[in-house]
Amino acid sequence: MADLTHSDADLPRILARTFAGEAAPDNFSALAELDQTAFDALPIAICLCAPDGSLIRFNRPAAELWGRAPRIGEARYCGSWRLYRTDGSPLPHHQSPSGVALRTGEPVVGQELELEQPGGRRLFVLVDANPLKGADGLVRGVVASLRDITARSDAEARQRQLIEELNHRVKNTLATVHALASNTARNAASVDEFKSRFEARLVALSQAHTLLGERDWRGVKVLDLIRQQLEPCVGRDSARVTLDGPDIELQAQLAVSLSMMFHELTTNAAKYGPLSVAGGRIAVAWELDAVTGDERTLTLRWAEAGGPPVVRPRRTGFGTRLIKSIADGLNGRADLLFEPSGVRLTVSIPFAARAGGAVQ
Protein backbone atom coordinates (compact mmCIF):
# COMPACT_ATOMS: atom_id res chain seq x y z
CA MET A 1 0.00 0.00 0.00
CA ALA A 2 1.37 3.41 -0.89
CA ASP A 3 2.76 5.47 1.98
CA LEU A 4 0.41 8.41 1.61
CA THR A 5 -0.66 10.88 4.26
CA HIS A 6 -3.72 13.06 4.10
CA SER A 7 -4.88 15.77 6.45
CA ASP A 8 -8.37 15.76 7.97
CA ALA A 9 -9.16 18.70 5.72
CA ASP A 10 -8.77 16.38 2.73
CA LEU A 11 -11.60 14.11 3.94
CA PRO A 12 -14.55 15.94 2.33
CA ARG A 13 -12.66 16.12 -0.96
CA ILE A 14 -11.72 12.44 -0.84
CA LEU A 15 -15.25 11.28 -0.05
CA ALA A 16 -16.84 13.58 -2.59
CA ARG A 17 -14.46 12.33 -5.25
CA THR A 18 -14.96 8.71 -4.25
CA PHE A 19 -18.75 8.77 -4.21
CA ALA A 20 -18.78 10.71 -7.46
CA GLY A 21 -17.18 7.60 -8.95
CA GLU A 22 -13.89 9.24 -9.97
CA ALA A 23 -11.09 6.79 -10.65
CA ALA A 24 -8.48 8.74 -8.75
CA PRO A 25 -5.53 6.40 -8.05
CA ASP A 26 -5.05 7.56 -4.47
CA ASN A 27 -8.63 7.31 -3.24
CA PHE A 28 -8.24 3.81 -1.80
CA SER A 29 -4.95 4.65 -0.09
CA ALA A 30 -6.34 7.92 1.19
CA LEU A 31 -9.27 6.22 2.88
CA ALA A 32 -7.15 3.34 4.16
CA GLU A 33 -4.56 5.64 5.72
CA LEU A 34 -6.98 8.25 7.08
CA ASP A 35 -6.65 9.04 10.77
CA GLN A 36 -9.17 6.93 12.71
CA THR A 37 -10.35 9.87 14.80
CA ALA A 38 -11.32 11.73 11.65
CA PHE A 39 -12.87 8.57 10.22
CA ASP A 40 -14.99 8.07 13.36
CA ALA A 41 -16.10 11.71 13.28
CA LEU A 42 -17.96 11.17 10.03
CA PRO A 43 -21.74 11.51 10.50
CA ILE A 44 -22.36 8.49 8.29
CA ALA A 45 -21.37 4.83 8.51
CA ILE A 46 -18.45 4.03 6.19
CA CYS A 47 -16.56 0.79 5.55
CA LEU A 48 -13.76 -0.13 3.19
CA CYS A 49 -13.10 -3.56 1.65
CA ALA A 50 -10.10 -4.97 -0.22
CA PRO A 51 -10.44 -6.52 -3.72
CA ASP A 52 -11.12 -9.95 -2.18
CA GLY A 53 -13.91 -8.47 -0.05
CA SER A 54 -12.00 -8.48 3.23
CA LEU A 55 -13.11 -5.71 5.56
CA ILE A 56 -10.08 -3.52 6.19
CA ARG A 57 -11.57 -0.34 7.60
CA PHE A 58 -14.77 0.94 9.21
CA ASN A 59 -15.73 3.82 11.46
CA ARG A 60 -17.61 4.07 14.73
CA PRO A 61 -21.02 4.88 13.15
CA ALA A 62 -20.71 1.67 11.11
CA ALA A 63 -19.94 -0.39 14.22
CA GLU A 64 -22.94 1.17 16.00
CA LEU A 65 -25.17 0.37 13.06
CA TRP A 66 -23.93 -3.23 12.86
CA GLY A 67 -24.17 -3.65 16.63
CA ARG A 68 -20.64 -5.00 16.74
CA ALA A 69 -17.02 -4.24 15.81
CA PRO A 70 -15.79 -7.18 13.67
CA ARG A 71 -12.10 -8.02 13.52
CA ILE A 72 -10.32 -6.52 10.57
CA GLY A 73 -9.74 -9.14 7.90
CA GLU A 74 -12.29 -11.64 9.22
CA ALA A 75 -15.53 -10.11 7.96
CA ARG A 76 -16.09 -9.91 4.22
CA TYR A 77 -18.05 -7.43 2.13
CA CYS A 78 -19.93 -6.04 5.13
CA GLY A 79 -19.51 -6.03 8.90
CA SER A 80 -23.15 -6.70 9.65
CA TRP A 81 -24.19 -9.90 11.44
CA ARG A 82 -26.85 -10.83 8.88
CA LEU A 83 -28.39 -9.17 5.85
CA TYR A 84 -31.86 -9.44 4.36
CA ARG A 85 -33.58 -8.18 1.25
CA THR A 86 -36.62 -5.94 1.69
CA ASP A 87 -38.89 -8.97 1.14
CA GLY A 88 -37.32 -10.61 4.20
CA SER A 89 -35.27 -13.22 2.35
CA PRO A 90 -31.65 -13.71 3.50
CA LEU A 91 -28.98 -11.90 1.49
CA PRO A 92 -25.52 -13.55 1.38
CA HIS A 93 -22.76 -11.06 2.11
CA HIS A 94 -21.08 -11.67 -1.25
CA GLN A 95 -24.30 -10.45 -2.90
CA SER A 96 -24.35 -7.26 -0.84
CA PRO A 97 -23.76 -3.91 -2.59
CA SER A 98 -20.03 -4.09 -1.81
CA GLY A 99 -19.79 -7.58 -3.28
CA VAL A 100 -21.63 -6.52 -6.44
CA ALA A 101 -19.50 -3.38 -6.83
CA LEU A 102 -16.28 -5.42 -6.50
CA ARG A 103 -17.48 -8.05 -8.95
CA THR A 104 -18.82 -5.70 -11.63
CA GLY A 105 -16.66 -2.64 -11.15
CA GLU A 106 -19.84 -0.54 -11.19
CA PRO A 107 -21.30 1.50 -8.34
CA VAL A 108 -24.43 0.37 -6.50
CA VAL A 109 -26.52 3.35 -5.46
CA GLY A 110 -29.39 3.56 -3.00
CA GLN A 111 -30.03 -0.14 -2.33
CA GLU A 112 -32.37 -0.68 0.60
CA LEU A 113 -31.57 -3.62 2.86
CA GLU A 114 -32.38 -4.91 6.30
CA LEU A 115 -29.53 -5.81 8.63
CA GLU A 116 -29.67 -7.81 11.82
CA GLN A 117 -27.49 -7.10 14.82
CA PRO A 118 -26.11 -9.95 16.97
CA GLY A 119 -28.77 -9.25 19.63
CA GLY A 120 -31.55 -9.75 17.09
CA ARG A 121 -32.46 -6.12 16.49
CA ARG A 122 -33.21 -5.33 12.85
CA LEU A 123 -32.66 -2.03 11.05
CA PHE A 124 -33.40 -0.82 7.55
CA VAL A 125 -30.43 0.79 5.82
CA LEU A 126 -29.77 2.54 2.53
CA VAL A 127 -26.44 1.47 1.05
CA ASP A 128 -24.17 3.02 -1.57
CA ALA A 129 -21.10 1.06 -2.70
CA ASN A 130 -18.48 2.55 -5.00
CA PRO A 131 -15.57 0.60 -6.50
CA LEU A 132 -12.20 2.30 -6.12
CA LYS A 133 -10.04 1.94 -9.24
CA GLY A 134 -6.41 2.67 -9.87
CA ALA A 135 -4.89 4.46 -12.84
CA ASP A 136 -4.79 1.13 -14.66
CA GLY A 137 -8.57 0.81 -14.30
CA LEU A 138 -8.38 -2.20 -12.00
CA VAL A 139 -10.57 -2.32 -8.93
CA ARG A 140 -8.45 -1.79 -5.82
CA GLY A 141 -11.28 -1.97 -3.32
CA VAL A 142 -14.73 -0.68 -2.50
CA VAL A 143 -16.07 1.94 -0.11
CA ALA A 144 -19.62 1.65 1.16
CA SER A 145 -21.81 4.04 3.08
CA LEU A 146 -24.80 2.99 5.15
CA ARG A 147 -27.64 5.20 6.36
CA ASP A 148 -30.19 4.14 8.94
CA ILE A 149 -33.65 4.63 7.40
CA THR A 150 -35.58 2.52 9.92
CA ALA A 151 -37.75 5.45 11.03
CA ARG A 152 -38.64 6.23 7.42
CA SER A 153 -39.41 2.59 6.66
CA ASP A 154 -41.58 2.30 9.77
CA ALA A 155 -43.46 5.45 8.76
CA GLU A 156 -44.00 4.08 5.23
CA ALA A 157 -45.22 0.77 6.65
CA ARG A 158 -47.61 2.62 8.96
CA GLN A 159 -48.85 4.67 6.02
CA ARG A 160 -49.52 1.53 4.01
CA GLN A 161 -51.38 0.04 6.97
CA LEU A 162 -53.50 3.18 7.35
CA ILE A 163 -54.36 3.13 3.64
CA GLU A 164 -55.36 -0.53 3.88
CA GLU A 165 -57.50 0.21 6.96
CA LEU A 166 -59.10 3.16 5.17
CA ASN A 167 -59.91 1.03 2.13
CA HIS A 168 -61.42 -1.62 4.39
CA ARG A 169 -63.55 0.94 6.22
CA VAL A 170 -64.74 2.52 2.98
CA LYS A 171 -65.76 -0.88 1.61
CA ASN A 172 -67.59 -1.74 4.83
CA THR A 173 -69.33 1.64 4.88
CA LEU A 174 -70.43 1.36 1.24
CA ALA A 175 -71.74 -2.15 1.89
CA THR A 176 -73.66 -0.89 4.92
CA VAL A 177 -75.14 2.04 3.00
CA HIS A 178 -76.17 -0.27 0.16
CA ALA A 179 -77.88 -2.64 2.59
CA LEU A 180 -79.64 0.24 4.35
CA ALA A 181 -80.87 1.70 1.06
CA SER A 182 -82.17 -1.55 -0.41
CA ASN A 183 -83.88 -2.74 2.76
CA THR A 184 -85.38 0.66 3.56
CA ALA A 185 -86.80 0.86 0.04
CA ARG A 186 -88.25 -2.65 0.34
CA ASN A 187 -90.19 -1.70 3.48
CA ALA A 188 -91.18 1.88 2.65
CA ALA A 189 -94.77 2.59 1.60
CA SER A 190 -93.83 5.80 -0.26
CA VAL A 191 -90.89 7.79 -1.54
CA ASP A 192 -91.27 10.27 1.32
CA GLU A 193 -91.21 7.47 3.87
CA PHE A 194 -88.12 5.99 2.24
CA LYS A 195 -86.39 9.38 2.25
CA SER A 196 -87.06 10.11 5.92
CA ARG A 197 -86.12 6.64 7.16
CA PHE A 198 -83.03 6.33 4.97
CA GLU A 199 -81.76 9.76 5.99
CA ALA A 200 -82.26 8.92 9.67
CA ARG A 201 -80.27 5.71 9.28
CA LEU A 202 -77.49 7.51 7.41
CA VAL A 203 -77.32 10.06 10.23
CA ALA A 204 -77.00 7.23 12.77
CA LEU A 205 -74.20 5.69 10.73
CA SER A 206 -72.49 9.07 10.45
CA GLN A 207 -72.78 9.66 14.20
CA ALA A 208 -71.09 6.32 14.93
CA HIS A 209 -68.23 7.26 12.59
CA THR A 210 -67.95 10.68 14.25
CA LEU A 211 -67.73 9.07 17.68
CA LEU A 212 -64.99 6.74 16.45
CA GLY A 213 -63.16 9.58 14.69
CA GLU A 214 -63.01 11.56 17.93
CA ARG A 215 -61.10 8.61 19.39
CA ASP A 216 -58.86 8.03 16.34
CA TRP A 217 -60.81 4.82 15.60
CA ARG A 218 -59.31 3.16 18.68
CA GLY A 219 -62.73 2.14 19.98
CA VAL A 220 -65.88 3.39 21.69
CA LYS A 221 -67.28 2.70 25.13
CA VAL A 222 -70.65 0.94 25.29
CA LEU A 223 -72.05 3.70 27.52
CA ASP A 224 -71.10 6.46 25.07
CA LEU A 225 -72.54 4.51 22.16
CA ILE A 226 -75.96 4.06 23.80
CA ARG A 227 -76.09 7.64 25.07
CA GLN A 228 -75.41 8.95 21.58
CA GLN A 229 -78.58 7.29 20.29
CA LEU A 230 -80.86 8.07 23.25
CA GLU A 231 -79.86 11.64 24.12
CA PRO A 232 -81.64 13.30 21.16
CA CYS A 233 -84.91 11.81 22.47
CA VAL A 234 -84.59 12.09 26.27
CA GLY A 235 -81.53 14.21 27.07
CA ARG A 236 -78.38 13.10 28.85
CA ASP A 237 -79.59 12.64 32.43
CA SER A 238 -83.24 11.69 31.95
CA ALA A 239 -84.83 9.60 34.69
CA ARG A 240 -86.73 7.79 31.93
CA VAL A 241 -83.58 5.89 30.92
CA THR A 242 -81.52 3.57 33.10
CA LEU A 243 -78.08 2.54 31.86
CA ASP A 244 -76.19 -0.09 33.80
CA GLY A 245 -73.02 -1.96 32.89
CA PRO A 246 -69.22 -2.14 33.23
CA ASP A 247 -66.70 0.06 31.41
CA ILE A 248 -66.28 -1.84 28.11
CA GLU A 249 -64.63 -0.53 24.96
CA LEU A 250 -65.69 -1.85 21.56
CA GLN A 251 -63.56 -2.07 18.45
CA ALA A 252 -64.63 0.00 15.46
CA GLN A 253 -66.69 -2.43 13.39
CA LEU A 254 -68.54 -3.81 16.40
CA ALA A 255 -69.26 -0.27 17.57
CA VAL A 256 -70.76 0.68 14.19
CA SER A 257 -72.93 -2.44 14.14
CA LEU A 258 -74.28 -1.94 17.66
CA SER A 259 -74.84 1.75 16.98
CA MET A 260 -77.17 0.85 14.10
CA MET A 261 -78.94 -1.66 16.34
CA PHE A 262 -79.56 0.89 19.10
CA HIS A 263 -80.71 3.41 16.50
CA GLU A 264 -83.47 1.05 15.36
CA LEU A 265 -84.55 0.39 18.95
CA THR A 266 -84.55 4.07 19.86
CA THR A 267 -86.45 5.08 16.71
CA ASN A 268 -89.10 2.44 17.36
CA ALA A 269 -89.39 3.51 21.02
CA ALA A 270 -89.79 7.17 20.03
CA LYS A 271 -92.49 6.45 17.42
CA TYR A 272 -94.49 3.64 18.98
CA GLY A 273 -92.99 2.75 22.36
CA PRO A 274 -92.31 4.30 25.77
CA LEU A 275 -90.60 7.43 24.42
CA SER A 276 -93.79 8.34 22.54
CA VAL A 277 -95.71 8.98 25.77
CA ALA A 278 -95.04 10.66 29.09
CA GLY A 279 -93.86 8.30 31.80
CA GLY A 280 -92.44 5.66 29.48
CA ARG A 281 -89.12 4.15 30.52
CA ILE A 282 -86.21 2.22 29.01
CA ALA A 283 -83.62 0.14 30.85
CA VAL A 284 -80.42 -0.91 29.09
CA ALA A 285 -77.92 -3.24 30.75
CA TRP A 286 -74.80 -4.98 29.57
CA GLU A 287 -72.28 -7.39 31.04
CA LEU A 288 -69.36 -9.65 30.17
CA ASP A 289 -69.65 -13.32 31.04
CA ALA A 290 -66.50 -15.42 31.24
CA VAL A 291 -66.19 -18.33 28.83
CA THR A 292 -62.59 -19.52 28.43
CA GLY A 293 -59.25 -17.69 28.48
CA ASP A 294 -59.59 -14.25 26.94
CA GLU A 295 -62.94 -15.05 25.35
CA ARG A 296 -66.07 -13.59 26.89
CA THR A 297 -69.70 -13.20 25.93
CA LEU A 298 -71.01 -9.65 25.74
CA THR A 299 -74.70 -9.62 26.68
CA LEU A 300 -76.87 -6.54 26.12
CA ARG A 301 -80.45 -6.21 27.36
CA TRP A 302 -83.00 -3.61 26.28
CA ALA A 303 -86.30 -3.49 28.20
CA GLU A 304 -89.18 -1.08 27.71
CA ALA A 305 -91.97 -0.21 30.15
CA GLY A 306 -94.76 2.32 30.57
CA GLY A 307 -95.47 2.76 26.88
CA PRO A 308 -98.54 1.94 24.79
CA PRO A 309 -99.50 -1.75 24.82
CA VAL A 310 -97.38 -3.65 22.32
CA VAL A 311 -98.94 -5.77 19.62
CA ARG A 312 -96.72 -8.19 17.78
CA PRO A 313 -96.31 -6.96 14.18
CA ARG A 314 -97.92 -9.04 11.45
CA ARG A 315 -94.81 -8.92 9.30
CA THR A 316 -91.12 -8.73 10.07
CA GLY A 317 -89.93 -5.18 9.46
CA PHE A 318 -86.51 -3.94 8.45
CA GLY A 319 -85.56 -2.98 11.99
CA THR A 320 -86.16 -6.49 13.27
CA ARG A 321 -84.27 -8.03 10.37
CA LEU A 322 -81.39 -5.60 10.86
CA ILE A 323 -81.06 -6.43 14.56
CA LYS A 324 -81.03 -10.16 13.90
CA SER A 325 -78.65 -9.85 10.94
CA ILE A 326 -76.20 -7.78 13.02
CA ALA A 327 -76.18 -10.44 15.74
CA ASP A 328 -75.76 -13.20 13.15
CA GLY A 329 -72.92 -11.31 11.47
CA LEU A 330 -71.11 -11.11 14.81
CA ASN A 331 -71.56 -14.84 15.45
CA GLY A 332 -74.06 -13.98 18.15
CA ARG A 333 -77.74 -14.31 18.91
CA ALA A 334 -80.64 -11.86 19.25
CA ASP A 335 -83.85 -12.71 21.14
CA LEU A 336 -86.50 -10.08 20.40
CA LEU A 337 -89.80 -10.26 22.31
CA PHE A 338 -92.90 -8.12 21.71
CA GLU A 339 -94.53 -8.29 25.14
CA PRO A 340 -97.63 -6.21 25.99
CA SER A 341 -95.59 -4.18 28.51
CA GLY A 342 -92.93 -3.31 25.95
CA VAL A 343 -90.23 -4.58 23.59
CA ARG A 344 -87.49 -6.68 25.16
CA LEU A 345 -84.26 -7.58 23.42
CA THR A 346 -81.37 -9.74 24.59
CA VAL A 347 -78.27 -9.88 22.40
CA SER A 348 -75.31 -12.17 23.12
CA ILE A 349 -72.08 -11.67 21.16
CA PRO A 350 -68.70 -13.44 21.42
CA PHE A 351 -66.19 -10.92 22.72
CA ALA A 352 -62.37 -11.09 22.70
CA ALA A 353 -61.13 -9.17 25.71
CA ARG A 354 -57.72 -8.38 24.25
CA ALA A 355 -59.10 -7.33 20.87
CA GLY A 356 -61.83 -5.19 22.40
CA GLY A 357 -64.52 -6.54 20.17
CA ALA A 358 -66.42 -9.44 18.75
CA VAL A 359 -64.57 -12.53 17.63
CA GLN A 360 -64.46 -12.32 13.85
- Average pLDDT of the segment spanning 103-121: 94
Decide if pLDDT at 161 tops 80. no
Contacts (Cβ under 8 Å, ≥6 apart) of 120: none
Question: pLDDT tens, 169-195?
Answer: 677 667 777 777 776 777 677 888 788
pLDDT on residue 15: 57
Question: pLDDT tens, 232-277?
Answer: 888 766 789 999 999 998 888 888 888 888 988 998 899 899 999 9
pLDDT on residue 256: 87
CA distances from 307 to 139, 278, 328, 335 (A): 92, 8, 29, 20
Lowest-confidence region among 23-27, 42-46, 81-85, 88-92: 23-27
Is residue 27 within 8 A of residue 139, CB to CB? The reply is: no
172 residue type, one letter: N
* C-alpha count within 13 angstroms, C-beta hemisphere, residue 233: 27
Structural domains in the chain, sorted by start: 8-148 (3.30.450.20), 153-358 (3.30.565.10)
Q: What is the pTM of this model?
A: 0.53
Q: How far apart are CA 144 and CA 140, in angstroms?
A: 14
Terminal C-alpha separation, the chain: 67
- Average pLDDT of the segment spanning 201-228: 81
CB atoms within 10 A of CB 333: 15
Contacts (Cβ under 8 Å, ≥6 apart) of 178: none
Nearest Cα residue to 320 out of 183, 177, 158: 183
Decide if pLDDT at 284 tops 70. yes
- Average pLDDT of the segment spanning 299-313: 92
